């Protein structure tokens, strides 16, 4: 269409850890950390994305490195808007206009106020019209699951701030649970474990690096370890320790147990017919947390349901949003779905 040359349709995964943008007919055009660096003296944005991430824990007092999303929720509206605006300017080559439709993925448990803040951030950043889609539905679509069929698809999306566990059937969420336990919480667990066990203070970037290098949910055949450097809490001097994969498994055990408990609750609350479908369909993992070694084995062992990591789990959500952007006639009904999921809450 001629209009496509002037107006762009995009999908946006505004995540706690990473933000991704899908441009119609182009694919994924932005994949950057959801981080911005600002100079407090001049209120100037110094960097966003990967460049800002390099500054984490390394800036003077007048420079703040901010993560505007916490637990899947916008905690700093102005910075979230600026972050999104900067990313969209890269897509439109410096011009913040011409975005006709923006499809955004959002966690399941957002309140109306939180949903409105996400929508407003996208509108302020340059989108003419914003459609909100529940993240588990988009992630399941991106993972290749038959979400429009009358069969159960259980997706576990472990992002940076939240873990969404949902049973999807006929294009809607039947049962869901959202936890504020995900990649960021894993990093906090590692930081706390090393502080308590070794009296060593490390930063978030170091914890992330250790998690990727030696983290696991199940015992590994080989013993792997990695040098970790930080500040000795007793002497205040730099010190290095060797961190083993068994240490990381111990550090992550409590958070992983919480995810397993929530998965059990979702399965127990699923209607019997759909629960039976799970044995055939299996459980699918996506998001950055799905890449933790042995996590699929652990969930399969505890649930006795075949568990598989989706292809390219980091981009499953944005690929699902991209499919909606490319074919709104087929998937447009997912934008405003009238099916209300069964919300599970712990009291």
Q: Tens of pLDDT along 285-333?
A: 999 999 999 999 999 999 999 999 999 999 999 999 999 999 888 887 7
Are residues 49 and 89 located together in one domain of the fold?
Answer: yes
Query: How many domains in the chain?
Result: 3
Residue 128 has pLDDT above 80, yes or no: yes
162 and 122, same structural domain?
Answer: no
Dump pLDDT digits (tens) for 202-241: 998 899 999 999 999 999 888 889 999 999 999 999 999 9
pLDDT of residue 111: 80
How many other CB atoms are there within 10 angstroms of residue 233's CB atom? 12
Least confident stretch, 81-85, 140-144, 338-342: 338-342
Q: Residue 271 pLDDT > 60, yes or no?
A: yes
Residues 325 and 293 in one domain: no
pLDDT class of 259 with cuts at 50, 70, 90: very high
Does one domain contain both 155 and 134?
Answer: no
Is the domain of 166 the same as that of 269? yes
Q: Can you give the pLDDT at residue 337?
A: 44
pLDDT at 117 over 90: no
pLDDT tens-digit series, residues 30-39: 899 999 999 9
Same domain, 7 and 74: yes
| CATH code of residue 240 | 3.90.640.10
Q: Identify the CATH number of the domain in which residue 324 sits.
A: 3.30.420.40
Both 12 and 77 in one domain: the answer is yes
Claim to verify: residue 104 and residue 216 sit in the same structural domain = no
pLDDT at 95: 56
Where a domain ends, among 211, 229, 251? 251
Pairing mode of beta strands 153-158, 283-286: parallel
Query: By residue range, what is the domain housing residue 226?
Result: 183-251
What per-residue confidence (pLDDT) applies to 59? 86
List residues bridging with 22 in a β-sheet. Answer: 11, 28
- The angle that helices 112-124 and 77-91 make with each other, rounded to 10 degrees, is 40
Q: What is the average pLDDT across 90-99?
A: 66
Q: Of the candidates 25, 30, 29, 21, which has an alpha carbon nearest to the alpha carbon of residue 3?
A: 25
Widest CA span of the chain, in angstroms?
67
Give residue-wise pLDDT tens across range 46-63. Answer: 888 889 888 887 888 899
Lowest mean pLDDT among 8-22, 83-97, 158-172: 83-97
Q: Look up the pTM and report it.
A: 0.87
Residues 192 and 282 in one domain: no
pLDDT of residue 227: 95
> Are 164 and 290 members of one domain?
yes
Percent of the chain scoring above 90 in pLDDT: 44
Q: Please tell me whether residues 112 and 205 are part of one structural domain.
A: no
Asked whether residue 121 falls in the same domain as residue 270, the answer is no
């Amino acid at each position: 269409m001629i209009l496509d040359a002037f107006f762009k349709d995009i999908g946006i995964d505004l995540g706690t850890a990473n933000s991704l943008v899908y441009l119609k007919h182009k694919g994924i055009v932005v994949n950057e950390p959801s981080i911005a660096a600002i100079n407090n003296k001049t209120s100037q944005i110094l960097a966003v994305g990967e460049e800002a991430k390099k500054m984490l824990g390394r800036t003077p007092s007048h420079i703040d490195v901010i993560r505007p999303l916490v637990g899947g929720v916008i905690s700093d509206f102005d910075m979230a808007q600026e972050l999104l605006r900067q990313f969209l300017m890269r897509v439109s080559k410096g011009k913040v206009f011409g975005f006709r439709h923006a499809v955004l993925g959002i966690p399941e448990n957002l309140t109306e106020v939180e949903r409105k803040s996400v929508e407003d951030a996208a509108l302020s950043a340059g989108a003419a019209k914003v459609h909100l889609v529940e993240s588990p539905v988009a992630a399941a679509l991106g993972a290749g699951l038959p979400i429009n069929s009358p069969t159960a698809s259980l997706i576990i999306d472990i992002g940076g701030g939240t873990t969404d566990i949902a049973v999807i059937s006929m294009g809607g969420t039947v049962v869901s649970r959202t936890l504020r336990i995900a990649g960021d919480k894993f990093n906090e667990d590692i930081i706390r474990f090393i502080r308590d066990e070794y009296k060593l203070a490390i930063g978030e970037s170091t914890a992330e690096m250790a998690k990727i290098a030696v983290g696991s949910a199940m015992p590994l055949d080989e013993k792997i370890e990695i040098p970790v450097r930080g500040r000795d809490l007793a002497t205040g001097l730099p010190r290095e320790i060797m961190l083993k994969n068994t240490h990381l498994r111990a550090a992550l055990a409590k958070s992983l147990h919480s995810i397993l408990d929530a998965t059990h609750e979702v399965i127990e609350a699923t209607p019997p017919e759909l629960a039976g479908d799970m044995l055939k369909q299996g459980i699918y993992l996506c998001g950055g947390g799905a890449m933790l070694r042995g996590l699929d084995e652990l969930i399969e062992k505890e649930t006795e349901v075949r568990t598989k990591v989706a292809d390219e789990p980091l981009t499953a959500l944005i690929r699902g949003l991209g499919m909606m952007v490319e074919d709104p006639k087929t998937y447009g009904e997912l934008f405003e779905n009238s099916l209300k999921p069964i919300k599970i809450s712990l009291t």
